[in-house]
Structure 1
Amino acid sequence: MKARYRIHLSKKERETLLDWIKTGKRKAQHIQYCHILLNSDESEGRKPPRMTDVADRYQSTARTVERVKKAFCDEGMSLFEAKERKTRSDKKIDARAEAHLIALLCQSPPNDAPRWKLQMLADCLVELEIVESISKMSISKLLKKMNLSPSKKRNT
């Protein structure tokens, strides 16, 4: 496999990576990345070993070695900085919406229906302007999480 990403570490980067390995106070994954990068370094006329040899030496895969090399080429040393966690922006139901859903389940279904249907619950939440839109599957998952069912009889 031909090397797509070639690593050329500066003296400072090399010293930093070696220091991180020696101290051992980094994440194990980062230390493994340091080893991979140091072994793949082509600066000062070094000839790096094949990706599969590097992968075998550090209990990894050739794909991981390639991924680390690509990330280093794209990001540099910021590869080792903490990444910002992504928050879920698609979550529509909060505690307020859950409370409204429970209150709906305690009421009798509209239009003289014998029991609540998932779509009826979804429509009611939208109609009451609690959520902008919601699917019946989201309602189903929420009821399952709360261990409720629209068809269960309750002692009232």
Structure 2
Amino acid sequence: MGSQKKRPVVLTAADREVLGRVTTTGVHPASVIRRARVLLALDTSAGEIDSQDAIAARVGVSGETLRLVAKRFAESGGDVEATIQRKPRDLPPVPSPVTGEVEARLIALACSQPPAGRARWSLRLLEKHVALVEGIPDLDHSTIGRILKNEAASSSEEVLDHPTTSKPAVRGPDGRRAGRLCPTL
């Protein structure tokens, strides 16, 4: 509760106008509207403000949310847009294990001759062989299929046992298999 006194929120008339528009007009994410309402409630430029408990109850947030929004406002140097908008992400949380070299080696493996006793490469078979190859990280069969679809779309149907290569079945009017067909009449 004492952190509010350390970080007073002082808004200009232009800031209050922007926040008022965010809270009343247009389509904005709920988190943006909530932060804008918190900033308006914490504004000390008009005079004394209510206690944090009263503000939290009126705005419908916790005291911790009040503290965090005020802290973010102070850290952004009083920039209202930076306070209410979502923080931009610096980097993806985990870099992808699939690099250009991995894609090239995977495509080369998929275009190679399948193992003895197999007519084609399947995604699961590629998954097993990728685990054995040095220098290629273990990849799931769905990841392998996505890589082959994106990078070698023209040849992936030739390499993999694709469902569209099977012969179409005869279907009845209800969508089920027709079953035994009558001999030619």
Q: Which TM bucket (shorter chain)?
A: 0.5 to 0.7
**Aligned residue in 2 for 1:40:** 42
Question: Following TM superposition, by how much is the alpha carbon of 1:22 offset from its aligned partner in structure 2, in angstroms?
Answer: 2.2
- Of the two, which has the highest radius of gyration? 2
Contact 1:51 1:66 in 2 (8 A): no
Which of 92, 99, 107 is equivalent to 1:87? 92
- Pairing of 1:1-156 with structure 2 (within 5 A): 1-2=1-2, 3=4, 4-44=6-46, 46-75=47-76, 76-77=79-80, 78-81=82-85, 83-85=87-89, 86-93=91-98, 96=103, 102-103=125-126, 105=128, 121=131, 124-125=132-133, 127=134, 129-131=135-137, 139=138
CA–CA separation in structure 1 for the residues paired with 2:39 and 2:13: 13
Superimposed CA distance per residue, residues 82-101 of structure 1 (whole angstroms, 9 cap, x where no aligned partner): 54344244331478487868
Structure 2: gaps of 5 or more residues:
110-123, 144-185
Contact 1:24 1:31 in 2 (8 A): no
Contact 2:9 2:39 in 1 (8 A): yes
Question: Following TM superposition, by how much is the alpha carbon of 1:130 offset from its aligned partner in structure 2, in angstroms?
Answer: 2.5
Cα distance 1:42–1:90, how it changes in 2: closer, same or farther (>3 A)? same
CA–CA separation in structure 1 for the residues paired with 2:27 and 2:129: 55
Question: Following TM superposition, by how much is the alpha carbon of 1:144 offset from its aligned partner in structure 2, in angstroms?
Answer: 9.3
Q: Secondary structure at the match of 2:20?
A: helix
Structure 1: gaps of 5 or more residues:
108-120, 132-138, 147-156
Superimposed CA distance per residue, residues 61-117 of structure 1 (whole angstroms, 9 cap, x where no aligned partner): 10011111111111222223454344244331478487868436259xxxxxxxxxx
TM-score (norm 2): 0.51
Cα distance 1:143–1:81, how it changes in 2: closer, same or farther (>3 A)? closer
Counting aligned pairs with the same residue, the percent is 20
Number of equivalenced pairs: 119
RMSD: 3.2
Contact 2:38 2:59 in 1 (8 A): yes
